[in-house]
């Protein structure tokens, strides 16, 4: 190799190294651990709320353990119960992602009132809080994202290993035991939704949706097997286990997707694109994209980012069931693109 060629390949390597370093530096958010941390009176909430949240977090977990023991003791429960688990998870999961999140919270598209009601009820059946409370908490999350006042940032417990662990637990479900979940400011965060009479009536019926979320799979299990065993399996797999799976996937967006993953777009928080949850959470795991463009109906903004909820919204649009679908322009995308 001549001297000239050597110099070229060294300078190419150098250029590659510099561009890699620049890319890494850009991936780091302009965000630092907030020394103020969490608000001091955050955990000063009524006992009733604590007990209710303990049931919401704990009972599906107990159901999962019982379902696994039954599987161990009595063998395979049968395909209908697996279908109920997966079908129920897809329906109520999309109730959250398409209904509560993209439609109600961010107005990413418009649709007919019965379809809006359908997605709202599907979301309520996931038992992640009533529609108004869910949307108010989530709008506050966007307002304060990863700074003091964020209901579920994993990054406000300090930068030590223990602090990071505590933060992840807080972001996953610990925040349900705080004031943000117990007393969300509905008039401030969802003034548009509190004027929607149909939505208010569905919100007030939240306890009925909780009951139906368990009663429907129990009844289906009883009907297809004509037995108490079928009712119990329907309750466990179509009810408790399905709720457990849906809960923990949604909660992982708040915890995992603010810590682990890549940043493709500039934001002022630490939101990340996580491929595992991009797929499992039906598109919501492209969370850095979502924080960069909150009103976009599509979260998987890069061609390879699979976004099931977007596919459904796009299909609705093609069928004339959705309109005013919000998408960022190519120019705006490129402007915020980190690499
Ligand atoms: Zn977030
Ligand atoms: Zn959002």
Q: What is the pLDDT of residues 302-339, one digit of tens each?
A: 999 999 999 999 999 999 999 999 999 999 998 888 87
Q: Taking each helix axis as running N to C, give the angle between helix 197-204 and helix 113-124, from 0 to 180 degrees, rounded to the nearest 10.
A: 20
pLDDT of residue 1: 47
How far does the centroid of ligand 1 lie from the alpha carbon of residue 12, in Å? Answer: 38
Task: Looking at the CA of 254, name the nearest ligand.
Answer: 1
* Average pLDDT, integer, range 43-49: 85
Ligand number nearest CA of 137 is 2
| Distance in Å, CA 61 to ligand 2 centroid | 26
pLDDT at position 20 over 70: no
Question: Residue 42 has what pLDDT?
Answer: 79
What is the model's pLDDT at position 9? 65
**Ligand nearest, relative to CA of residue 97:** 2
Residue 66 has pLDDT above 60, yes or no: yes
pLDDT number for residue 337: 87
Banded model confidence at residue 120, pLDDT cuts 50, 70, 90: very high
- Worst-scoring range by mean pLDDT, 2-11, 70-79, 313-322? 2-11
pLDDT attached to residue 302: 92
Closest ligand to Cα 108? 2
CA distance 116 to 96: 12
Q: Is 149's pLDDT higher than 70?
A: yes
d(CA 98, CA 118): 11
Per cent of the chain over pLDDT 90 is 73
Q: What is the pLDDT, as a whole number, of residue 23?
A: 61
Q: Which ligand is nearest to the CA of 135?
A: 2
Give the least confident one: 37-51, 103-117, 227-241: 37-51
pLDDT of residue 111: 97
**DSSP single-letter state for residue 295:** T
Distance of CA 126 from the midpoint of ligand 1 (Å): 19
Q: What is the largest CA-CA distance in the chain?
A: 84
Which ligand is nearest to the Cα of residue 293, counting in written order?
A: 2
State the pTM of this model: 0.88
Distance 105 CA to ligand 2 centre (A): 7
- Mean pLDDT over all residues of the chain? 90
Give the Å distance between the CA of 142 and the centre of ligand 1.
Answer: 7
pLDDT above 60: residue 223? yes
Q: Is the predicted pLDDT of residue 45 greater than 60, yes or no? A: yes
Residue 285 CA to ligand 1 center (angstroms) comes to 10
CA distance 164 to 89: 30
Query: Quick one: pLDDT at residue 4?
Result: 56
User: In angstroms, what is the span from residue 101 Cα to ligand 1's centroid?
Assistant: 12
Structure tokens at 94: 């999309």
Q: With left for phi above 0 and alpha for psi between -120 and 50, is residue 224 left, alpha or beta?
A: alpha
Query: What's the pLDDT score for residue 275?
Result: 96
Which ligand has its closest atom nearest to the C-alpha of 259? 1
Query: Ligand 1: distance of its center to the CA of 187 in Å?
Result: 22
Centre of ligand 2 to C-alpha 196, Å, is 20
Residue 2 pLDDT exceeds 90? no
CA of 138 to the centre of ligand 1 (A): 8
Distance from the Cα of residue 301 to its chain's centroid = 17
Looking at residue 255, its pLDDT comes to 96
CA–CA dist 92, 243 (Å, integer)? 9
Residue 296 tokens, joined:
């976009």
Q: Separation of 284 CA from ligand 2 center, angstroms?
A: 9
Average pLDDT on 138-155 reads: 92
Taking CB atoms within 8 Å and a gap of at least 24, the contacts of 334-339 are 336/265, 336/266, 336/292, 336/293, 337/264, 337/265, 337/266, 338/23, 338/26, 338/27, 338/263, 338/264, 338/265, 338/266, 339/23, 339/26, 339/27, 339/264
Give the DSSP H or E segment for 110.
strand 110-111
Instruction: Tell me the CA–centroid distance for residue 83 and ligand 1, in Å.
Output: 31
Ordered DSSP codes for 160-182: SHHHHHHHHHHHHTGGGGSHHHH
Confidence of residue 46 (pLDDT cuts 50, 70, 90): confident
CA of 149 to the centre of ligand 2 (A): 16
Alpha-carbon distance 44 to 47, whole Å? Answer: 9
User: Can you tell me the distance from the alpha carbon of 178 to that of 175, in angstroms, rounded to the nearest whole number?
Assistant: 5
């Amino acid at each position: 190799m001549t001297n000239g060629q050597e110099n070229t390949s060294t300078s190419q390597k150098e250029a590659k190294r510099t561009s890699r370093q620049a890319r890494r530096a850009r991936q780091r958010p302009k965000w630092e651990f907030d020394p103020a941390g969490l608000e001091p009176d955050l955990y000063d909430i009524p006992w009733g709320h604590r007990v209710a949240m303990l049931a919401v977090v704990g009972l599906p977990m107990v159901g999962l353990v019982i379902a696994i023991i039954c599987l161990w003791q009595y063998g395979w429960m049968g395909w209908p119960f697996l279908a109920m688990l997966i079908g129920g998870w897809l329906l109520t999961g999309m109730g959250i992602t398409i209904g509560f999140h993209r439609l109600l919270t961010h107005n990413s598209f418009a649709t007919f009132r019965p379809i809006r009601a359908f997605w709202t009820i599907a979301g309520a059946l996931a038992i992640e809080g009533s529609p108004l409370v869910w949307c108010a908490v989530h709008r506050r999350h966007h307002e304060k994202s990863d700074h003091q006042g964020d209901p579920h940032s994993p990054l406000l417990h300090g930068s030590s290993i223990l602090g990071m662990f505590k933060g992840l637990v807080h972001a996953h479900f610990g925040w349900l035991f705080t004031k943000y979940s117990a007393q969300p400011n509905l008039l401030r965060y969802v003034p548009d939704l509190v004027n929607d009479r149909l939505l208010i009536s569905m919100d007030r019926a939240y306890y009925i949706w909780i009951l139906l979320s368990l009663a429907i799979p129990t009844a289906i299990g009883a009907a297809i097997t004509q037995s108490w065993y079928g009712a119990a399996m329907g309750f466990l797999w179509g009810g408790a286990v399905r709720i457990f799976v849906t809960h923990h996937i949604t909660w992982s967006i708040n915890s995992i997707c603010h810590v682990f993953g890549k940043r493709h777009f500039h934001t002022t928080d630490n939101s990340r694109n996580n491929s595992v949850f991009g797929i499992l959470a039906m598109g919501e795991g492209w969370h850095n994209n979502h924080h960069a463009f909150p009103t976009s109906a599509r979260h998987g903004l890069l061609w390879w980012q699979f976004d099931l909820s977007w596919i459904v919204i796009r299909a609705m649009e093609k069928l004339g069931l959705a309109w005013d679908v919000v998408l960022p322009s190519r120019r705006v995308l490129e402007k915020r693109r980190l690499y």
